């Protein structure tokens, strides 16, 4: 057997829907000395991560921790803990990830009420409230705050205000592409369960799912009749992440936790309003320039997400070939459509360390260069 060469992957500018490039500080943190998962010095770091994550979510109460899994697992953990077989769950669906909530909720035995909108639109809050009026026994209302498949941002603050504190339904929000990238206030917006990932606007490697759980949601979890999957047992995870002495639950991904610690620390140092504004400037610069090139964006301009832009592929252009040329000729990754119903689109992400005017300009220059020499298919000529 021959010995393979040492790992040497190529440099990429990751401007697709995620992951984004890792923050240098987060990457450097993974070179720090390894601690064991039951080392009391590690437990001090865990407590710091929880405090930093609270600041990123603006969540003072309840439970906050990063799950030892991806953003999709954060989605499933919320559904596994907050609904029981037979419960009614209302889900807003205007893209791939809203549909994924529906699928996972059904797998956990929920009776799902889908409230749909066309791709590129958001589900209006009044339609969600009408669905709730028709199903007053609903236990959960779930929305995607930032729909990564289309670039739509849901008016989550308004939804939380309109729901108020009197209804029994819990509000769950997919914050995968919004945490640390667009305004988000867990407490003020009356969110009961939020989940995200580490590899997008936070700028850490993939592998953890930062979640926030309200006290109201914790009360629901404590009163459950059916058990939850062991890996997603939020009450058991609480005993490891926040109670001291820590109670063993799993072997924590130590180096991932180091990276998240530094990524979150950078968020706090930069300041959330400043970080949101940086993502806004970069995203709007990209979007304005694309429109100036007569390229059509998928999302309703009134609800266009800043960190993620979905662009219609011009008629007659081979969208996948353009993606390949961007990667091979310019070292830039952009994404395509996601799911069987997606139209021909490119998805361009400016997140984390990549949310800058300089990166926006670099993407546009590369796209201009590729499209200038890309043949138009004969059927569209």
Q: Which of 209, 366, 210 is nearest to 286 (CA)?
A: 366
**Using an 8 Å Cβ cutoff, are 212 and 191 in contact?**
yes
Q: What angle do CA 284, 212, 256 make, to 5 degrees?
A: 80
Cα distances from 219 to residues 62, 64, 301, in angstroms, run 10, 15, 39
Mean pLDDT on 269-296: 98
User: Are residues 321 and 253 located together in one domain of the fold?
Assistant: no
Amino acid 214: pLDDT: 98
Q: What angle do CA 138, 139, 143 make, to 5 degrees?
A: 90
18 inside domain: no
Amino acid 83: pLDDT: 97
User: Are residues 104 and 246 located together in one domain of the fold?
Assistant: yes
The residues facing 304 across adjacent strands are 152
Cα distances from 164 to residues 160, 161, 308, 371, in angstroms, run 6, 5, 30, 49
Interval 183-222: pLDDT, tens: 999 999 999 999 999 999 999 999 999 999 999 999 999 9
Strand extents, DSSP E, the chain: 13-14, 63-67, 88-93, 111-116, 140-144, 146-147, 152-153, 170-174, 193-195, 209-213, 308-312, 332-333, 335-336, 345-349
User: Are residues 363 and 260 located together in one domain of the fold?
Assistant: no
366 inside domain: yes
**Using an 8 Å Cβ cutoff, are 141 and 133 in contact?**
no
Cβ contacts of residue 130 below 8 Å, gap of 6+?
A: none
pLDDT band at 138 (very low <50, low <70, confident <90, very high): very high
pLDDT band at 4 (very low <50, low <70, confident <90, very high): confident
195 inside domain: yes
What mean pLDDT value characterizes the chain?
A: 96
Mean pLDDT on 13-30: 98
User: Are residues 188 and 320 located together in one domain of the fold?
Assistant: no
Instruction: Indicate the residue among 246, 269, 292 that finishes a domain.
Output: 269
User: Are residues 244 and 100 located together in one domain of the fold?
Assistant: yes
Cβ contacts of residue 223 below 8 Å, gap of 6+?
A: none
Interval 220-232: pLDDT, tens: 999 999 999 999 9
Sheet holding 335-336, edge to edge: 308-312, 345-349, 335-336
Amino acid 1: pLDDT: 61
| Residue 278, domain extent | 272-380
User: Are residues 280 and 237 located together in one domain of the fold?
Assistant: no
User: Are residues 257 and 363 located together in one domain of the fold?
Assistant: no
Interval 228-249: pLDDT, tens: 999 999 999 999 999 999 999 9
CATH number for 297:
3.90.1150.10
pLDDT at 291 over 50: yes
Please tell me which residue, 380 or 154, carries the higher pLDDT value: 154
**Using an 8 Å Cβ cutoff, are 27 and 259 in contact?**
yes
Mean pLDDT on 64-75: 96
Instruction: Indicate the residue among 227, 246, 269 that finishes a domain.
Output: 269
Task: Give the integer Cα–Cα distance in Å for 246 and 43.
Answer: 7
Residue 61 sits at φ, ψ, to 5 deg, of: -105, -170
Instruction: Indicate the residue among 269, 302, 331 that finishes a domain.
Output: 269
222 inside domain: yes
Amino acid 164: pLDDT: 80
Q: Both tokens of residue 36?
A: 């064991």
Amino acid 254: pLDDT: 98
Interval 140-169: pLDDT, tens: 999 999 999 999 999 999 999 999 878 899
pLDDT band at 339 (very low <50, low <70, confident <90, very high): confident
User: Are residues 171 and 97 located together in one domain of the fold?
Assistant: yes
User: Are residues 199 and 241 located together in one domain of the fold?
Assistant: yes
Of 18-32, 124-138, 159-173, the range with the lowest mean pLDDT is 159-173
Question: Do strands 140-144 and 88-93 pair parallel, antiparallel, or not at all (unpaired)?
Answer: parallel
4 inside domain: no
pLDDT at 267 over 50: yes
User: Are residues 221 and 278 located together in one domain of the fold?
Assistant: no
3 inside domain: no
Mean pLDDT on 294-312: 98
pLDDT band at 381 (very low <50, low <70, confident <90, very high): very low
Mean pLDDT on 333-341: 93
pLDDT band at 10 (very low <50, low <70, confident <90, very high): very high
Domain total in the chain: 2
61 inside domain: yes
Mean pLDDT on 31-53: 97
Percent residues over pLDDT 90 in the chain: 94
Q: Which stretch of DSSP H or E encloses residue 70?
A: none
pLDDT at 377 over 70: no
Task: Give the integer Cα–Cα distance in Å for 308 and 8.
Answer: 29
Task: Give the integer Cα–Cα distance in Å for 145 and 163.
Answer: 16
327 inside domain: yes
């Amino acid at each position: 057997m021959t010995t393979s060469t040492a790992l040497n992957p190529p440099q990429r500018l990751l401007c697709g829907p995620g992951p984004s490039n890792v923050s240098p500080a987060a990457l450097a943190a993974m070179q720090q000395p390894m601690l064991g998962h039951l080392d009391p010095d590690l437990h001090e770091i865990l407590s710091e991560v929880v405090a930093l994550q609270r600041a990123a979510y603006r969540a003072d109460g309840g439970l906050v921790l990063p799950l030892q899994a991806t953003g999709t697992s954060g989605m499933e953990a919320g559904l596994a803990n907050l609904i029981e077989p037979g419960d009614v769950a209302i889900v807003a669906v205007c893209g791939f990830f809203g549909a994924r909530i529906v699928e996972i909720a059904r797998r956990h035995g929920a009776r799902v009420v889908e409230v749909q909108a066309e791709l590129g639109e958001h589900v209006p809050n009044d339609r969600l409230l009408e669905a709730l009026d028709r199903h007053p026994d609903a236990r959960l209302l779930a929305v995607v705050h930032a729909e990564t498949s289309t670039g739509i941002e849901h008016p989550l603050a308004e939804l939380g205000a309109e729901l108020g504190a009197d209804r029994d339904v819990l509000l769950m929000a997919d914050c995968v592409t919004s945490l640390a990238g667009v305004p988000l206030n867990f407490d003020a917006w009356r969110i009961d369960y939020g989940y995200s990932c580490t590899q997008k606007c936070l700028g850490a490697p993939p592998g953890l799912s930062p979640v926030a759980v309200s006290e109201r949601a914790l009360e629901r979890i404590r009163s459950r009749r059916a058990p939850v999957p062991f890996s997603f047992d939020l009450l058991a995870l609480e005993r490891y992440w926040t109670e001291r002495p820590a109670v063993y639950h799993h072997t924590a991904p130590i180096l991932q936790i180091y990276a998240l610690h530094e990524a979150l620390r950078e968020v706090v140092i930069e300041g959330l309003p400043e970080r949101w504004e940086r993502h806004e400037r970069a995203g709007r610069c990209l979007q304005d320039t694309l429109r100036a090139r007569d390229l059509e964006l998928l999302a309703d301009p009134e609800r266009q997400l800043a960190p993620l832009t979905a662009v219609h592929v011009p008629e007659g252009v081979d969208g996948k070939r353009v993606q390949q040329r961007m990667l091979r000729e310019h070292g830039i990754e952009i994404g395509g459509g996601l799911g069987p119903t997606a139209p021909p689109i490119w998805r361009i992400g400016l997140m984390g360390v990549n949310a800058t005017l300089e990166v926006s300009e670099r993407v546009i220059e590369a796209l201009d260069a590729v499209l200038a020499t890309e043949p138009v298919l004969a059927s569209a000529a």
